[in-house]
Amino acid sequence: MDDTRVRIDVEPSGPSETTLCLHGDIDVFADAALAEAYASATRDGATSLRLDFDDVGYINSTGIALIVRLLAEARRDRREVLAVGLSEHYREIFRITRLSDYLTIVETPAAAVSLEEAAP
């Protein structure tokens, strides 16, 4: 499927943490890109994933489903997931869908700390 609406950069952001920088819309067209990005992030043995939504303007219900799928895989693989850069509106959507119960939402990229750093 055409994925020109989205680009995902996969970047290491800590010893065991990888950041998926999402650019564009998270909808049906992000399917392959998100799956690829997850596979790439986990190949290097990252135990936590940071999803950076700072450059995302639109997430629809299909996009929510893709995030659920990624979260399910991460839980299966015992990887923790962190979400940064979500707008107030999408934080609300993550809350009512209860995604916020299963991943850690950090309100601004500046405040985002990796799970490793936050650990005692």
Tell me: does residue 7 bind another protein (CB under 8 A). Answer: no
Tell me: does residue 78 bind another protein (CB under 8 A). Answer: no
Handedness of CA 118, 83, 19, 110 (dihedral sign): negative
- Return left, alpha or beta for 25; rule: phi > 0 is left, psi -120 to 50 is alpha, else beta: beta
Stretch that binds another protein, among 14-22, 34-42, 53-61, 109-117 (CB under 8 A): 53-61
- Count of alpha carbons within 13 angstroms of residue 97, beta-carbon side: 18
Q: Which amino acid is residue 88, in one-letter code?
A: E
Tell me: does residue 64 bind another protein (CB under 8 A). Answer: yes
Tell me: does residue 97 bind another protein (CB under 8 A). Answer: yes
Stretch that binds another protein, among 13-21, 39-47, 95-103, 106-114 (CB under 8 A): 95-103
Among 68, 117, 1, residue whose Cα is nearest residue 51: 68
What is the binding site for another protein (CB under 8 A)? 5, 25, 27-29, 58, 60-62, 64-66, 68-69, 71-72, 75, 87-89, 92-93, 96-99, 101-102
